[in-house]
Structure 1
Amino acid sequence: MKKILVVLLLFTGSISLAQEGVKVDGSKVTVKETAPVWPGCENSEDQKQCFNQKLMQHIKENYKYPRNEAGDFLRGKATIALAINEKGSVVVRSVKGENSQINAAAETMIKKIPKMKPGMRGGKPTSIKYTIPLTL
């Protein structure tokens, strides 16, 4: 009777620990990861390319060039570190560049990215980090 109970407990434990997207082959564990999906790219054959195209389109349409005291447009570089969290929302981690006005405009533009389907790791939603260098 004890043997049956032990076998039953082991079987139950192995089922409850199984995860979708995780493959164990001997001592090798493979975890499947998928990137976040931009709205409108769900049915695209190449979701990564679609994501990149939508991001570039978003930048072109939403970046507002700041002006200096003379009224001239400011141009420069900014590096944006962001994450798309488990809920699919964009979280700006940092914006680095030489001009604070350009950094602020870049951060405002990134915060306007629409909510999307989050990235997955092992079948569970996970935060995915990105770094985007921009020359504006």
Structure 2
Amino acid sequence: MELKKNPKADLRRNSSLYFVIGLAVVMALIYGALEWKTYDDNNDYDISLNVEDQLDEEVPMTEQIKTPPPPPPPAAPEVIEVVEDEEEVEETVIESTETSQEDEVMEVEDVEVEEVEEDVDVPFAVIEDVPVFPGCESASNKRACFQEMMNKHIRKNFRYPEIAQEMGVQGRVSVMFVIQKDGSIGGVRMRGPDKNLEKEAARIISKLPKMTPGKQRGRAVRVPFSIPINFKLQ
């Protein structure tokens, strides 16, 4: 017996269509599986920052200082007494200081202003008339004579301190003094390596004689002068 196939029952007739449909279904399932996402059921979590409070110390609260209220104003007197002024007050008459044409104007004589002499120190190197050392009055070069007489005075009165000799102290003492406007010596200052040497230098300067004061523009002025005194052991 020969079997006959029904053309309607032929499965290979629409096989390409079925293949495309199956391929589309498989791709849809794969895409759905890749895009599938799951979420937790409990969504009650805190999304705020977890900041630990590191301030363990207690911050004292600021106390508000209460100022006392101002005292109440004094009570007004109940009865105000009115005192009548029985005394007569004399009116003060202010006279005008303006001068009229009839008044005579007194002429004021010229007021003489006395010049105040200022103490000016003029150095020995620039003064016009140098101080005159006793014995240099007739010298042509009084400046050089002054220097020479000063050196003679130092050599004549020089005496080395014994305590400085025993200690082996030597050096130069710078002596500064001022020849005053009356020719006397003042303002003596010393600077040296030892107090004993400075004391001896001051003694030598104190023995200077009174001089003729120096003059600047014909007026006596103070003249500062400085000289070194050498102390040297032999």
Query: TM-score, normalized by length of structure 1?
Result: 0.71
Paired amino acid for 2:156? E
Structure-2 separation of matches of 1:55 and 1:115: 13
Q: What is aligned with 2:140?
A: 45
Q: What is aligned with 1:3?
A: none
Q: What is aligned with 2:191?
A: 96
Q: What is aligned with 2:61?
A: none
Give the conservation status (yes or no) of the 8 Å contact 2:164–2:197.
no
Offset of residue 92 of structure 1: 3.8
From 202, 210, 231, the equivalent of 1:107 is 202
Q: What is aligned with 2:151?
A: 56
Q: Give every structure 1 segment of 4 or more consecutive aligned residues whose post-TM-superposition deviation is greater than 4 Å.
A: 69-74
Query: TM-score, normalized by length of structure 2?
Result: 0.43
**1:45–1:75 distance in 2 versus 1, CA, 3 Å:** same
Larger helix percent: 1
* Bigger Rg, which one: 2
In structure 1, the gaps of 5 or more residues are 1-8, 18-31
Structure-2 separation of matches of 1:69 and 1:103: 11
Q: What is aligned with 2:175?
A: 80
Alignment root-mean-square deviation, CA = 2.6
Give the conservation status (yes or no) of the 8 Å contact 2:164–2:196.
no
Offset of residue 75 of structure 1: 2.9
- Partner SS state of residue 52, structure 1: helix
Structure-1 separation of matches of 2:156 and 2:211: 18
Q: What is aligned with 1:123?
A: 218
**1:69–1:91 distance in 2 versus 1, CA, 3 Å:** closer
Structure-2 separation of matches of 1:125 and 1:99: 36
In structure 2, the gaps of 5 or more residues are 1-109, 116-126
Structure-2 separation of matches of 1:133 and 1:110: 11
- Partner SS state of residue 48, structure 1: helix
Give the conservation status (yes or no) of the 8 Å contact 1:89–1:115.
yes
Structure-2 separation of matches of 1:102 and 1:48: 27
Structure-2 separation of matches of 1:69 and 1:94: 20
- Partner SS state of residue 81, structure 1: strand
Percent identical: 27
Q: What is aligned with 1:28?
A: none
Give the conservation status (yes or no) of the 8 Å contact 1:65–1:73.
no
Structure-2 separation of matches of 1:87 and 1:122: 16
